[in-house]
Amino acid sequence: MEQAHFVDEPRDSVNRADRMVEEVMKLRGYPVADFEQRAADVSVDHPHLVDNYRRAHDIAVRNSRGQANTEDLRNAMISFRSLFEDLLEDRPVVAAVRRAV
């Protein structure tokens, strides 16, 4: 959804994407109070995305201070989208737990 709004409101879209990823992480059972803890937890299940997540979150923080350019924002959206999609992916372990319940 935020991707479609990016052209008109890139700064707001990145901030909203950051919050959406945090919300999905919360729903998936990740502790979300501290970013460093979130990143450490993401690195266990999504090691190929954690560096991108750190960069995207850093851009979102810089964006809130008015210090991110359009290319930074575009890169943040790409990274947030990748993590968002990966978080929503149905993993075999999750499916096994669902069958056991």
Q: Are 68 and 62 in contact (CB under 8 A)?
A: yes
The Cβ of residue 83 has, within 10 Å, a number of other Cβ atoms equal to 21
Q: Which residues of the chain have pLDDT under 50?
A: 1, 92-101
pLDDT for 5: 66
Enclosing domain of residue 60: 2-100
| Cα–Cα dist 28/64, whole Å | 26
Total of domains in the chain: 1
Please tell me the pTM assigned to this model. 0.76
pLDDT for 101: 38
CA nearest to 62, candidates 51, 77, 49, 73: 73
Instruction: Kindly give the residue spans of alpha helices, DSSP state H, lying in 10-88.
Output: 10-27, 35-45, 50-64, 70-88
Number of Cα atoms under 13 Å in the Cβ half of residue 49:
21
